[in-house]
Chains A and B, each alone.
Chain A
Amino acid sequence: MPRSYTARTILDGGQAKDEDFNAEVQTPIGEFNGQLDQNQLPLQSVNFNHIAQPTVSTAYLNQNGTYSTYMQTQSYHQTEYSKTELLDVPYMYWDNTLYAGQGWISLQQWQLQTHSAIQTGGAQLNFDAQEGMIAGNAVIDFNWFPGGSRNQSVVPTQGGDIGISLRNIYGYKETIEWGVFLDDVCISKSGVTYPRRLTLNLPFNAPTSTKPVQLDIRFRATFVDPVTMGTQGVTPPSSSTIFATVDYLQYLRYNGGVLWTRQQFR
């Protein structure tokens, strides 16, 4: 059947025999009403929906900044965080309430600690997955920074007090590790990293089922309590007074990044 039917207009005063009329009308009406043949290609496995245009969610979700685009055989999900002013990025020190030893800390929780919810990003994806696989990258620009303390000894002598100052870097042997978690299951880890600024590109892939999923970045690090730095590495002279001054606190800074994943379900 042709895709559209073109009416053969009968002019005023013209004549049509009944069989002519019936032959003209019967075929298209019959096909309209279900008399399908191979021209309609009733394929069950692939239809128009499978190759339709992708759709994209129209706005960031305030709680997690996830941006999703759903295509026909796959979907992409992305969240990013970018700040040019260093003051706008979160810092973490040894006394942060999220830090409790060697446990994994959610980057999203840390972001929420620093920012209003709408300003977070780069840390967590929430989307509706279908049965298939996810594959993506976590790009994390961070600064894992050792601290510096100054131990000052004041030794009294006959000629007056003599000050001795010794600078000490602390925390330079402490490491940080980053991981990507899918519904609380670790699917990728960076391995330990020593202090420096670094952009990690952490690839991951994992199977998914048909359900809403949460993909997020976490880290675990060791912070040194600066109070313990007072006499570290120093044998105090007798009759001396020691003042410990911490010039630079050991810190972790998140400078920004991207978390994106592709989900292929057909």
Chain B
Amino acid sequence: MSIVTTGKKNAANPGDIISPAKANAIYNEIAASSAIIDNSNTRSDSISRRHLFDLSEQMTGLHPTFHQIQTKFQDSNSGVYSSTSYVDVAHGGGMIINFVVPVVLRPGEALRMQASLNMIKCTLGAEVNPGDVKLANQYYFFKFYGDPNGVSTALSPDYGYSMSSLPDVADNLYQNIISSFSDKVQQKCIVQQREAFSYVYINKTGANVTFTNVRVKVRIQPPQGTCTQNTIDIKEYRLVALGVR
């Protein structure tokens, strides 16, 4: 903590003549010293009413530790997805959080997101032409999106999953062997899976970044050749987003 001092002493003795210039000089020096009192050299501003107020659960956007915590949860509904480009997980009200108060990330502050979905099953498309293998292109992806400063933007890397145990192989003879232990495409073997992922978005810019929403999007890899599109069924999901400082 720096120290503010003034060298001026109480210098007026009885009988002295105090000129306006001398008095004003002293006053001005005191005023100048007082003007440089700030948070760096006083302790009086360590906790203000604002901070005490923000520690309540209110969504003010000014919380000193957490801007805002929002959760989104749905149950009972399910949705089928087949888009080859990223689309919203829209069933059950949508896997999107619209912040009550926009989250304003100052430089260096972060937005933390965690999500999970219940994958019910994957359904393979049909093979139309010989040689095109329906299991050859069988990935699906999730990704966090947000709207920093109003622009819909992909935030995280792709988070990929395969429908069977043997992706990437464009050979039906191999696929027929391996699909026997694929647990997302074989009706008798399907096990629901909770698939989870997370991401931390740090504001690496020099300016504030405002988020009004975050969401999770999904896409399915385009099928090989003439095969028809694979689809996935999603049921419950949960999305949590919180701003941190």
Q: How far is the CA of A50 from the CA of B65 in the complex (A)?
A: 11
For the complex formed, measure the closest distance between the CB of A234 and the CB atoms of chain B, giving whole angstroms: 15
Kindly identify which residue among B110, B166, B204, B245 contacts A169, using a CB–CB cutoff of 8 Å.
B166
Q: How far is the CA of A84 from the CA of B9 in the complex (A)?
A: 72
28 contacts between A and B (CB under 8 A): A5-B34, A9-B24, A10-B20, A18-B14, A21-B12, A22-B10, A28-B34, A32-B6, A32-B33, A33-B6, A48-B39, A56-B203, A71-B244, A74-B65, A80-B199, A82-B158, A148-B169, A168-B177, A172-B178, A196-B161, A201-B198, A255-B158, A256-B158, A257-B157, A258-B156, A258-B198, A260-B199, A260-B200
Q: How far is the CA of A214 from the CA of B199 in the complex (A)?
A: 20
Q: How far is the CA of A69 from the CA of B64 in the complex (A)?
A: 15
B197-237 contact mask (Cβ, 8 Å, vs A): 1 or 0: 11110111000000000000000000000000000000000
Residues 14-45 (chain A) with a chain B CB within 8 angstroms: 14, 16, 18, 21-22, 24-26, 28-29, 32-33, 39-43
Q: Which of A97-105, A107-115, A137-145, A224-232 contacts B (4 or more CB under 8 A)?
A: A137-145
> What B residues does A194 contact at CB under 8 A?
165
In chain B, what residue has the closest Cβ to A73?
Answer: B65
Contact A145-B166, Cβ < 8 Å, known A56-B107, A167-B173, A257-B157: yes
Q: How far is the CA of A46 from the CA of B47 in the complex (A)?
A: 8
> What A residues does B12 contact at CB under 8 A?
18, 21-22, 25
> What A residues does B109 contact at CB under 8 A?
54, 69, 71
B33-69 contact mask (Cβ, 8 Å, vs A): 1 or 0: 1110101101111110001000000000000110000
Q: How far is the CA of A56 from the CA of B28 in the complex (A)?
A: 39
Task: Supply 5 further A-B pairs (C-beta < 8 A) apart from A7-B28, A29-B10, A67-B204.
Answer: A11-B20, A13-B20, A41-B43, A146-B178, A197-B160
Task: Enumerate the 7 nearest inter-chain pairs by beta-carbon distance, A residue then B residue, closest first.
Answer: A56-B108, A82-B157, A7-B27, A197-B162, A5-B34, A201-B196, A199-B159
Contact yes or no, A47 B13, CB < 8 A = no
Q: Residue A211 at the B interface, CB < 8 A?
A: no
> What A residues does B129 contact at CB under 8 A?
none
Q: Residue B125 at the A interface, CB < 8 A?
A: no
Q: How far is the CA of A55 from the CA of B113 in the complex (A)?
A: 21
For the complex formed, measure the closest distance between the CB of B13 and the CB atoms of chain A, giving whole angstroms: 7
Contact yes or no, B18 A16, CB < 8 A = yes
Contact yes or no, A32 B5, CB < 8 A = yes
Q: How far is the CA of A221 from the CA of B181 in the complex (A)?
A: 20
> What A residues does B35 contact at CB under 8 A?
4
Q: Residue B151 at the A interface, CB < 8 A?
A: no
Q: Residue A65 at the B interface, CB < 8 A?
A: no
Q: Residue B23 at the A interface, CB < 8 A?
A: yes
> What B residues does A29 contact at CB under 8 A?
6, 8-10, 30
Interface size on B, residues (CB 8 A): 75
> What A residues does B200 contact at CB under 8 A?
76, 78, 258, 260
Q: Residue A116 at the B interface, CB < 8 A?
A: no
Most-contacted residue by chain B among A11, A69, A78 (CB, 10 A): A69
Contact yes or no, B244 A74, CB < 8 A = yes
Is chain A's interface secondary structure helix, strand, loop, or mixed overall? mixed
- B residues near A, CB below 8 A? 4-6, 8-10, 12-16, 18, 20, 23-24, 26-28, 30-31, 33-35, 37, 39-40, 42-47, 51, 64-65, 106-110, 112, 114, 116, 139, 142, 156-162, 164-169, 171, 173-174, 177-178, 181, 195-200, 202-204, 244-245
Contact yes or no, A33 B10, CB < 8 A = no
Q: How far is the CA of A122 from the CA of B171 in the complex (A)?
A: 33
Q: How far is the CA of A260 from the CA of B162 in the complex (A)?
A: 24
Contact yes or no, B198 A139, CB < 8 A = yes
Contact yes or no, B202 A10, CB < 8 A = no
> What B residues does A25 contact at CB under 8 A?
8, 10, 12, 26-27, 30
> What B residues does A167 contact at CB under 8 A?
173-174, 177
Q: Residue A243 at the B interface, CB < 8 A?
A: no
Q: How far is the CA of A122 from the CA of B70 in the complex (A)?
A: 26
For the complex formed, measure the closest distance between the CB of A206 and the CB atoms of chain B, giving whole angstroms: 17
For the complex formed, measure the closest distance between the CB of B214 and the CB atoms of chain A, giving whole angstroms: 15
Kindly identify which residue among B28, B43, B116, B142 contacts A43, using a CB–CB cutoff of 8 Å.
B43
> What B residues does A238 contact at CB under 8 A?
none
Contact A169-B197, Cβ < 8 Å, known A11-B20, A143-B168, A197-B139: no
